[in-house]
Amino acid sequence: KVYRVVLAILNKEQRGYLTPDQFNRLGRQAQLDLFEKSFYDYNRAVIKGDRVGSSSEYGDIAGHIQEKIDVFAKSATLTFTTGVAAEPADLYRTILLTINGDTEVELVKKTELAYLNSSKLTAPTAQYPVYYSEGENIKIFPISIASANIDYIKSPADPIWGYTSSGGAYTYSAGSSTDFELHPSEETLLVTKILAYAGVVLKDPTVIQVAAQEEANKFTKENS
């Protein structure tokens, strides 16, 4: 759907044509931009809400943005070998690590571990476990822990407009396609973002200007 909308706008304005491969590349970047922007917007809304009180409209704004982020919420089971487990391949940000159903594993810095282990009072135990991330692994202590549940925000899958081609014509292939994973409310801004990138690819400053103005209007509306 998004590809069709983008093509329709470009065609209406007589601004050129975007191939499926170009669209897939631009769509991936546009989705990542909006995905990462959600975290920035959420933190900003929370800070504003704290400044003016919980009864403020900013509480609702933060809640709406949280809904956009929650689309990417996911859970998985980690299996540890001597305290080490691979992170989920699609991990973007860890929310919570637990063992035995309800025991939270505390996130610590690697440099804090030596200090924690220096005393029996602070050393990690099965009742008070800790972990830190290193590279693409999660390290948990005590290392006797065999498994843990991780709640996390996953990275969005790359959108793909799959197709078959014949005689220069592209035919949509649902079986080889991957939809955008953003919240439905982001669709208009997603189209705008893709159009902005398309203006660069097509070397058309008018497309870039129109897309930038649309994004600026949305920003003003959200912050008025």
8 Å CB contact between 6 and 194: yes
> From CA 128, how far away is CA 135, in angstroms rounded?
24
Amino acid at 69: I
Residue 27 structure tokens: 């769509």
| pLDDT tens digits for range 201-219 | 666 566 556 555 655 565 5
For the question of whether the overall pTM of this predicted structure is more than 0.95, the answer is no
Q: Where does residue 54 rank: exposed (0-12), middle (13-18), buried (19+ CB within 10 A)?
A: exposed
> From CA 87, how far away is CA 134, in angstroms rounded?
10
82: nearest Cα among 127, 133, 140: 140
| pLDDT tens digits for range 145-189 | 999 999 999 999 999 999 999 988 899 999 999 999 999 999 988
List, in sequence order, the alpha helices (H) in 53-204: 57-70, 113-117, 187-201
8 Å CB contact between 162 and 175: yes
